Amino acid sequence: MNVTISSNYFRLSGLALLLGGLMGGVGQLLHAGDTPETVAEIPGFVAYAVNTHVLLAWASTLILLGLPAIYLRQAAKLKWWGWLGLPLLFIALMFEIFHGPLQIMGYPIIFHNVTTPEQLQVINDQIHTLATDQYPLQLAVLIPLMPFLFIGLILTAVGMLTARVLPKHVGVVLTAAITLLVLGMFIKIRVLDVSFSYLLLAFAYIGGSLLLGSSNPAEVTNASRPARSA
């Protein structure tokens, strides 16, 4: 059975990825530290954190909306292991944005009554260390995040390059973003400190490719087994 997916779906998904990737890339570049350093910084820090994470929340939502189209566009040529990139990346990106609601809704409450450096230090320590000793189920979100992200990205990039449905440069851009993300974990320089923003911009690049290159519908083939003779 062949299922035809409208080219309009890929255009809209490409637009979602393009906007989400650009918003996320900018949001990550603007992203400040996770906590204020002094009591005097609290009002400005909280306002900045809330605004930045509202931007990132919408960016992540748009990326997740457009994500399935990357795989569906390559459905005719994508290997089975290439499809694994979709659930892995979806889960990783969803887990990654879980801290956003904390800063959007929680920070105005958490820091509201902090008036001394000692109180601020206690709050900052709690934010940085979390409470995995008291609530070990937090690890069910924290532990899978990075493995799912990197495995999902690698499967997606290799799947693109081998399926050869999307232009080759799209897979190359995603591969370059993955490489910078890995380097950023080991080399502490400013240009790599923001390597996650490069990944989000790579999604914007993929979205642009889908938006501009989806003039034709795509077919998803489900090869059913022949019926047995009586």
**DSSP string across 151-188:** HHHHHHHHHHHHH--S-HHHHHHHHHHHHHHHHHHH--
* 134 found inside a domain: no
Q: Place 214 in a pLDDT band, splitting at 50, 70 and 90.
A: low
* 225 found inside a domain: no
In 90-123, which positions are buried (b, 16+ CB within 10 angstroms) versus exposed (e)? bbbbebbbeebeebbeebeebbeebeeeeebeeb
Residue 115 has pLDDT above 70, yes or no: yes
Q: Place 211 in a pLDDT band, splitting at 50, 70 and 90.
A: very high
- As a whole number, the mean pLDDT across the chain is 90
Coil, strand or helix at 131: coil
Number of domains within the chain: 1
Give the Cα separation of 117 and 186 in Å (integer): 32
Output the pLDDT for position 216: 60
Residue 171 or 131, more confident: 171
Q: How many other C-beta atoms can be found within 10 angstroms of the C-beta atom of residue 12?
A: 17
| Stretch 19-41: mean pLDDT | 93
| Stretch 69-86: mean pLDDT | 95
Residue 227 has pLDDT above 50, yes or no: no
The type of residue at 117 is P
Do residues 7 and 211 make contact, with C-beta atoms less than 8 angstroms apart? no
* 91 found inside a domain: yes
Residue 13: domain span:
9-124+139-212
Residue 153 has pLDDT above 90, yes or no: yes
* 78 found inside a domain: yes
Give the Cα separation of 195 and 78 in Å (integer): 28
| Stretch 152-171: mean pLDDT | 96
Residue 1 has pLDDT above 90, yes or no: no
Output the pLDDT for position 223: 44
Output the pLDDT for position 3: 75
* 226 found inside a domain: no
Portion of the chain with pLDDT greater than 70, in percent? 92
Residue 98 has pLDDT above 90, yes or no: no
* 115 found inside a domain: yes
Residues 6+ apart with CB under 8 A from 146: 92
Residue 230 has pLDDT above 60, yes or no: no
Backbone torsions φ then ψ of 208, nearest 5 degrees: -60, -40
| Stretch 107-125: mean pLDDT | 95
| Stretch 31-45: mean pLDDT | 92
* 57 found inside a domain: yes
Give the Cα separation of 52 and 104 in Å (integer): 9
Output the pLDDT for position 25: 95
* 143 found inside a domain: yes
